[in-house]
Structure 1
């Protein structure tokens, strides 16, 4: 049986390998397809990067389940056993707009809980890796922000509200700007959660049910870096629950209040 440290290494190698495939297609005028909506886009680079990630994982973990955004991989994290949760290009809308904020994400889970993760942002030359001993960015240890005053916080509304939920998007933005120092919106959930883990942001909020490939790796990073992640009801976040409320744990109650205003009737 492999150790947690082995899975950290595999997660990083797989994310780097997939990221290299995606980066080779970045800013090359690649064709863009749509899936379930005008803003739900996919490219051949997504598929090829996912294939490469899986190839690397399969070199050492042939029997583990794979949860992935593209193709016919599982779409939910198994409650038991070993699995890998992968997103070949998180932030494809940024990718196809030649914007550098996108990530190749790989997380290892066991019995539904993450044990290792890597988020590689090739166009920014940043690699975030998390294991039992904490989180690093480009090999250097990182931790959540130490800011305690919400009026100094930078907070990101994250994940995507569809066209039929734009009132909630507006509520999220208003809830942030009324409470915190400033708002950021990056269009890549794994990048945002990595930024919370590294202290570039104090918090991130959404009430959307996040797909596991958009969330599992980053949530693990925030926790391993000293932060906290709950759902919109204040309960410990697990895959499939409602919303993500991630913070440096210095004023999580205020962050949670903001998240609960996204859909006030809830």
Structure 2
């Protein structure tokens, strides 16, 4: 049987519908007094909302895109040998979600032949949703309003740049270079997680960097930043979300930041 093909616009429409389904679950469980929190084998926390959200997305994809693979944070990966697969982080920022900090989101991405072609970051507690598809641009919606096109900043000098990050964990041998980069920038703030990168896409900050990330942490971020005119690589400068870290910039600053972080 011939596999059905879909346009990027159709896949984006589905990704937005998946985000709608996710928001219903995460919003209902956010700040719930009976939220169930357990610890995974890697010693990171997971809530009943994480699991319920990913399962809901998996069930929809099983009907809407049965031939596609799927990589999810909570229930594993079924993407081997697949040219198309979805990447799901049901709640990026679980620790924030647990503590009632509103900086968390559901991240949904589609990868085709190794390249991210669709991405959605939905953050109902912030009343924001960012999304992008290859060749279709990058947008943000605030409080259900009219989509606004994302566009990165034009800042070209490190000393004029605003940088945001999560924390100092995971930098190891690059910690001194990271600290030096922050000291060189005009402004630094620890926004953290997905939000740092979305602010780069919006042009509100110029650099967002995290030293240790999984594929589901960065796949959606990758295309939202790139379609806004920015660049997304690993900290070492490797293109794409497959290299275990994340660096988003407005593009003009990217090579300079990579050099500074890697001791050049």
Partner of 1:256: 258
Decide which of 203, 215, 220 is 1:217's aligned counterpart. 220
Structure 2 residue 200 is the aligned partner of structure 1 residue 196: yes
Give the distance between the partners of 1:168 and 1:78, measured in 2 at CA: 33
- 1:142–1:198 contact (8 Å) kept in structure 2: yes
Aligned to 1:120, the other structure's residue is in SS state strand
Structure 2 residue 10 is the aligned partner of structure 1 residue 6: yes
Give, in angstroms, the shift of residue 114 of structure 1: 1.1
Structure 2 residue 187 is the aligned partner of structure 1 residue 182: yes
Give, in angstroms, the shift of residue 55 of structure 1: 2.5
RMSD (Å) for aligned C-alpha atoms: 2.3
Partner of 1:93: 95
Partner of 1:15: 19
Decide which of 120, 128, 133 is 2:136's aligned counterpart. 133
- Structure 1: stretches of 5+ with no match in the other structure: none
Give, in angstroms, the shift of residue 166 of structure 1: 6.4
Partner of 2:233: 230
Larger displacement relative to structure 2 (144-153 or 223-232): 144-153
Within 5 Å, give how 1:61-210 maps onto structure 2.
61-74=65-78, 80-131=82-133, 132-138=135-141, 139-158=147-166, 161=169, 165=170, 167=172, 170-171=175-176, 174-188=179-193, 190-208=194-212, 210=213
Give the distance between the partners of 1:140 and 1:160, measured in 2 at CA: 33
Structure 2 residue 45 is the aligned partner of structure 1 residue 31: no
Alpha-carbon distance change, 160 to 130 in structure 1, aligned in 2, over 3 angstroms = farther
Give the distance between the partners of 1:97 and 1:113, measured in 2 at CA: 34
CA deviation vs aligned residue, 1:157-204 (integer Å, no higher than 9, x gap): 34883xxx465585365133221112222332x222222111122111
What's the TM-score once normalised by structure 2's chain length? 0.87
Give the distance between the partners of 1:4 and 1:214, measured in 2 at CA: 21
What's the TM-score once normalised by structure 1's chain length? 0.86
Alignment length (residue pairs):
253
- 1:20–1:122 contact (8 Å) kept in structure 2: no
- Structure 2: stretches of 5+ with no match in the other structure: 142-146
